Amino acid sequence: MTTAAPVVATPNPFKIGLTFKAASGFDAEWITPTVFGGSADEVAQRTVDLIAALKEYGVIELASKAAEYTRGQYKGATAAAKTAPKRFEGGKVVSSGGGAHGGDVECVHGPRTYRSGGTWEAMFCPAREKSEQCPPAWKDKKTGRFVVKG
């Protein structure tokens, strides 16, 4: 009895990753589809088709509304978190509200960690790798706000 050799499907050699944001703010939802194809022309055409379909069916708007609904259902969120959206300012993420500490209390990696050492107070980047950490925000004794000195 002879058996035929299995057919091995080769993956599409061309792909493009896209990122669509639901809004202009830092905290906007992202949709990140990947388009595959057997040729560059096929990937380009499929990308155009995908963008047209996302627009036609309102996918970005639906994703934004679904995420907003989900955030509204989260009972652990504080009132400050709900009312103080984050934004970019001078290349850094800043909070509109300020919270318990004012100033640069967040960075691109999230909320900074408070530390003090007797005569100083600072907020440090939460990134795990030291090489990826943002500069610390030191407390300005005159204003009481945390500031990244540059």
Q: How far lies 139's CA from each of 24, 90, 94, 115, 149, in Å?
A: 30, 18, 16, 10, 10
pLDDT band at 87 (very low <50, low <70, confident <90, very high): low
Length of the chain: 150
How many alpha carbons lie under 13 Å from residue 106 in its C-beta half-sphere? 21
pLDDT for 14: 92
pLDDT at 21 over 70: yes
CA pair distance 67, 40, nearest whole angstrom? 34
Q: Give pTM, 2 decimals.
A: 0.43
- Give pLDDT tens digits for 47-73: 999 999 998 998 878 887 887 777 777
pLDDT at position 115 over 50 = yes
Once rounded to an integer, what is the mean pLDDT over residues 36-41? 93
Residues paired with residue 115 on neighbouring β-strands, in sequence order: 122
Distance CA 127, CA 139 (A): 20
Strands 145-148 and 102-103: parallel
Domain ranges of the chain: 14-73, 79-148
Amino acid at 15: K
Which pLDDT belongs to residue 39? 93
CA distance 75 to 68: 13
pLDDT in tens, 133-146: 899 999 988 888 88
